[in-house]
Chains A and B, each alone.
Chain A
Amino acid sequence: MLRILHQIFRTGIVTEPLPPEVEKGVEVIGAKLEEAIMRRFRRSLTIRQVDAGSCNGCELEIHALNNPIYNCERFGIKFTASPRFADILLVTGPVSMNMEIALKRTYNATPSPKFVIAVGDCGCNGGIFGESYASLGGISKVIPVDIVIHGCPPPPTAILKGILKLME
């Protein structure tokens, strides 16, 4: 126990001492984001992430949003297990033929008003996988998309920026 407390003490709050270029990015986005979330979603924005066929690269970066350095929960952003609680669907793609139905069902299970963010180049337009018998292409081929975040994969700061863009 003592070791744990020691380690916590030694580590401090790592959300602060970010490398300057990243810290700036996160903070600026964060402050605006918080304001927008407070205004529209009363301090809390709940996200359901759906992998509709990605290579897992985007998932790693979405995971990183939850690490103590980006710590997205401080802005009121929270990931949920159920689409019933979600305000936003954060979808990575391309949409595979085998995920099409599951993605539509998840969308239909999300209460309105709802927003869809397509994450990553593949989610935008199918990326390197293109359109084929197995890949239907970008998310917008299957459900309506409000905003796209480019990148392969987009870094965590870009994902936060994308969420902000949606709020404006």
Chain B
Amino acid sequence: MSGLENVMVSLLKEDAKRDAGQYPLDVPLYHIPCERFVEAAKAMKNTGARLAAQWASDETLFRRGFGVFACYAKDSEYLIVKADLPENDPTFPSITKKFVPAYRFERQIKSLMGIEPTGHPDLRPWIKHEDWQKGVYPLRKSFDVKQPLKRIKGEYQFIKADGEGVYEIPVGPVHAGIIEPGHFRFQAVGEDIINLEEKLGYVHKGIEKRFETMSWMDGAKLAGRVSGDSTVAHSIAYCRAVEAISKTNPPERALWLRALMLERERIANHLGDLGAIANDAAFAFILYQFSRLKEHILRTNYKLFGHRFMMDKVIPGSVNVDLTSKGRDIILKELELFEKEFERLVIIYDENPSLEDRLRGTGILTSEKAKELCVVGFVARASGQNQDLRIQSPFPPYDRIIPKIRVLNSGDVHARAWVRIEEIRDSICIIREILNTLPDGNIVAGFNPPLPDRSGFAVVEGWRGETVYWVQSGPDSEINRCMVRDPSSVNWLALEEAIHGNIVPDFPLCNKSFNQSYSGNDL
């Protein structure tokens, strides 16, 4: 029994009942009484665990009301607790006062599933906007997807600041650049930002509900479009969750190829962001150089995998594209050239004093805050959190090819950029190792749909960080629920914290250094 599990069982004794239908077996799910939900959260907090996700599922098809879940994580352990709620008037006690990320998770549960977190300090709608008709909860089984929604009058109440010289800047949802939509509300005095509040949900497309109308195979395509820039990470996470409950074991070669694509995705996105960060500090040279390198990587993706972002290549049980020995040579040759170019540019980046002046000390997320907000991915690693799931919860080949973890403590824009430079370097080594140890054999494993009433969990360290999926099969072995938690769902809150005390013109720079997904958050 793992550490977290021990704590939970010794606290709740026979009140904690392990679920037999949850896979993989090293991620246990415990049913606990609703009234002990907060107590359990407190015990988890005391062990130093973080809240990775919180969600609800409608289980009325099994005639057992609703379930509310909280997933805790510490080092390499994950533990899920579930409170079973009655169908009529379901409520559960809020854990927002113990774990800050629950603040938005619970608002989302209320907005989309209609389950009230009692004691939550702020129940404004989240994702669902204030002009949606009252009483519609799209994630409930009783909700008809085809029914168009009526708009009502409603206004979102932003947090206000007043006093002499305080003014407000509304930004978005349509932003100045080629970016996804979202609304930012600044309260400022002069150039100093007093408060930033995000209002997201503009790109809510009903993805989680959409999953429930799809087959397990087609679900992988949708997972690959939750956030277009992280298509590989999302589709691997989805497939791993589905494979856990359908007892599918993809062949080793397929696993190696998945990791290859995941690392290529990491390099391409980090390159784009590093260029954009420099460009926001008026150093366009770096943007053009890095975007040139990125374009070459995307073209090689197209040549070898048939898609520039490698969409739809990861499917349950396998990957649908193999790598020839010629393809392997192409990648190795490309890496050699790329590495040389990249290192030359890193020196220029590192030696530029005006860039340093803008990036250092800007948008600081302290390590205490990072821990409190349970942030993940490169944002966590730039703020002193030793967290990389490729090391802590590895799936093959990461159990053999071990990445080097890069942790910086300053938590500023510079740290978030520099962690990514180090990660690109590391990904180059990982790709070489993947290609050197690529197993022979086929890439396809047969896939059978799971048995009814099973649930599967998976995490993948995408380029943004921990990507979480939890899938549940229904009475007819269909998708009953597919919970998606993009790293952005927790990291967006960190941007609000990091911006305090900065000036308005530095916001784009801070935002870019986080570069969180709107689509992955809004679903």
Please name 27 pairs of A and B residues whose Cβ atoms are closer than 8 Å in the assembled complex, sorted by A.
A3-B344, A11-B292, A19-B299, A51-B179, A54-B519, A55-B226, A56-B517, A57-B228, A57-B311, A58-B228, A59-B179, A59-B180, A59-B228, A64-B291, A67-B292, A99-B181, A99-B202, A102-B174, A129-B210, A131-B146, A132-B146, A132-B206, A133-B138, A134-B204, A134-B209, A135-B205, A153-B228
The number of residues on chain A lying at the interface, defined by a beta carbon within 8 Å of a beta carbon of chain B, is 51
Asked if B348 and A54 make an inter-chain contact with CB atoms under 8 angstroms apart, the answer reads no
Of B207, B229, B289, B295, the contact of A129 (CB 8 Å cutoff) = B207
* B145 contacts chain A at the CB level, 8 A cutoff: yes
* B158 contacts chain A at the CB level, 8 A cutoff: no
How long is the Cα–Cα vector from A50 to B177 in the complex, in angstroms?
9
Asked if A50 and B288 make an inter-chain contact with CB atoms under 8 angstroms apart, the answer reads no
How long is the Cα–Cα vector from A53 to B182 in the complex, in angstroms?
10
Given contacts A54-B228, A57-B231, A134-B204, 8 further A-B contacts (CB under 8 A): A7-B285, A8-B285, A55-B228, A56-B228, A62-B178, A67-B291, A69-B292, A133-B209
The residues of A that contact B311 with a CB separation of less than 8 Å are 57, 152
Of B174, B222, B227, the contact of A128 (CB 8 Å cutoff) = B222
Kindly provide the distance from the CB of B171 to the nearest chain A CB, expressed in whole angstroms.
11
Asked if B181 and A102 make an inter-chain contact with CB atoms under 8 angstroms apart, the answer reads yes
Asked if B202 and A133 make an inter-chain contact with CB atoms under 8 angstroms apart, the answer reads no
Of A49, A62, A97, A155, the contact of B204 (CB 8 Å cutoff) = A97
The residues of A that contact B348 with a CB separation of less than 8 Å are 3-4, 7
The residues of A that contact B228 with a CB separation of less than 8 Å are 54-60, 153
The residues of A that contact B147 with a CB separation of less than 8 Å are 133
Asked if A96 and B202 make an inter-chain contact with CB atoms under 8 angstroms apart, the answer reads yes
Task: Identify which of residues 282-324 in chain B touch chain A, using a CB-to-CB cut-off of 8 Å.
Answer: 285, 288-289, 291-292, 294-295, 298-299, 302, 308-309, 311
Asked if B203 and A3 make an inter-chain contact with CB atoms under 8 angstroms apart, the answer reads no
The residues of B that contact A64 with a CB separation of less than 8 Å are 291, 295, 298
Asked if A133 and B345 make an inter-chain contact with CB atoms under 8 angstroms apart, the answer reads no
* B135 contacts chain A at the CB level, 8 A cutoff: no
Asked if A3 and B138 make an inter-chain contact with CB atoms under 8 angstroms apart, the answer reads no
How long is the Cα–Cα vector from A53 to B347 in the complex, in angstroms?
38
How long is the Cα–Cα vector from A22 to B347 in the complex, in angstroms?
31
Asked if A98 and B129 make an inter-chain contact with CB atoms under 8 angstroms apart, the answer reads yes
Of A81, A94, A106, the contact of B176 (CB 8 Å cutoff) = A81
* B440 contacts chain A at the CB level, 8 A cutoff: no
The interface bits of chain B over 145-160 (1 if a CB of A lies within 8 angstroms of the residue's CB, else 0) are 1111100000000000
Task: Identify which of residues 46-81 in chain A touch chain B, using a CB-to-CB cut-off of 8 Å.
Answer: 49-64, 66-70, 79, 81
Chain B interface residues (CB < 8 Å from chain A): 129, 132, 136, 138, 143, 145-149, 173-174, 176-181, 201-207, 209-210, 221-222, 225-229, 231, 272, 285, 288-289, 291-292, 294-295, 298-299, 302, 308-309, 311, 344-345, 347-348, 351, 517-519, 522
* A31 contacts chain B at the CB level, 8 A cutoff: no
Asked if B173 and A134 make an inter-chain contact with CB atoms under 8 angstroms apart, the answer reads no
* A111 contacts chain B at the CB level, 8 A cutoff: no
Asked if B201 and A98 make an inter-chain contact with CB atoms under 8 angstroms apart, the answer reads yes
Query: What residue in chain B is nearest A129 (Cβ atoms)?
Result: B205
The residues of A that contact B202 with a CB separation of less than 8 Å are 53, 96, 98-99, 102
Given contacts A3-B347, A7-B289, A56-B227, contact A106 B174 (CB under 8 A): yes
* A14 contacts chain B at the CB level, 8 A cutoff: yes
How long is the Cα–Cα vector from A29 to B203 in the complex, in angstroms?
32
Asked if B292 and A68 make an inter-chain contact with CB atoms under 8 angstroms apart, the answer reads yes
Kindly provide the distance from the CB of A78 to the nearest chain B CB, expressed in whole angstroms.
12
Asked if B205 and A96 make an inter-chain contact with CB atoms under 8 angstroms apart, the answer reads yes
How long is the Cα–Cα vector from A11 to B290 in the complex, in angstroms?
12
Query: What residue in chain B is nearest A62 (Cβ atoms)?
Result: B178
How long is the Cα–Cα vector from A115 to B207 in the complex, in angstroms?
30
Which 5 pairs, one residue from A and one from B, show the smallest C-beta to C-beta distance?
A57-B228, A134-B206, A81-B176, A67-B291, A55-B228
Asked if B519 and A56 make an inter-chain contact with CB atoms under 8 angstroms apart, the answer reads yes
Given contacts A132-B210, A133-B143, contact A60 B229 (CB under 8 A): yes
Asked if B518 and A155 make an inter-chain contact with CB atoms under 8 angstroms apart, the answer reads no
Given contacts A51-B181, A129-B205, contact A102 B210 (CB under 8 A): no
How long is the Cα–Cα vector from A19 to B295 in the complex, in angstroms?
12
Kindly provide the distance from the CB of A68 to the nearest chain B CB, expressed in whole angstroms.
5
The residues of A that contact B174 with a CB separation of less than 8 Å are 50, 83, 102, 106
* A25 contacts chain B at the CB level, 8 A cutoff: no
The residues of A that contact B231 with a CB separation of less than 8 Å are 57
Asked if A51 and B180 make an inter-chain contact with CB atoms under 8 angstroms apart, the answer reads yes
Asked if A63 and B295 make an inter-chain contact with CB atoms under 8 angstroms apart, the answer reads no
Of A70, A132, A155, the contact of B209 (CB 8 Å cutoff) = A132
Asked if B148 and A55 make an inter-chain contact with CB atoms under 8 angstroms apart, the answer reads no
Asked if A55 and B285 make an inter-chain contact with CB atoms under 8 angstroms apart, the answer reads no
The residues of B that contact A132 with a CB separation of less than 8 Å are 145-146, 205-206, 209-210
The residues of A that contact B149 with a CB separation of less than 8 Å are 97, 133
Kindly provide the distance from the CB of A105 to the nearest chain B CB, expressed in whole angstroms.
8
Kindly provide the distance from the CB of B153 to the nearest chain A CB, expressed in whole angstroms.
13
Query: What residue in chain B is nearest A109 (Cβ atoms)?
Result: B174
The residues of A that contact B308 with a CB separation of less than 8 Å are 61, 155
Asked if A134 and B225 make an inter-chain contact with CB atoms under 8 angstroms apart, the answer reads no
Query: What residue in chain B is nearest A63 (Cβ atoms)?
Result: B178
* A130 contacts chain B at the CB level, 8 A cutoff: yes
The residues of A that contact B210 with a CB separation of less than 8 Å are 128-130, 132
Asked if A98 and B203 make an inter-chain contact with CB atoms under 8 angstroms apart, the answer reads yes
How long is the Cα–Cα vector from A128 to B215 in the complex, in angstroms?
13
The interface bits of chain A over 129-148 (1 if a CB of B lies within 8 angstroms of the residue's CB, else 0) are 11111110000000000000
The interface bits of chain A over 1-34 (1 if a CB of B lies within 8 angstroms of the residue's CB, else 0) are 0011001100100100001001000000000000
Of A54, A66, A94, A130, the contact of B180 (CB 8 Å cutoff) = A54
How long is the Cα–Cα vector from A64 to B222 in the complex, in angstroms?
24
Kindly provide the distance from the CB of B489 to the nearest chain A CB, expressed in whole angstroms.
15
How long is the Cα–Cα vector from A76 to B486 in the complex, in angstroms?
38
Asked if B173 and A69 make an inter-chain contact with CB atoms under 8 angstroms apart, the answer reads no
Query: What residue in chain B is nearest A70 (Cβ atoms)?
Result: B295
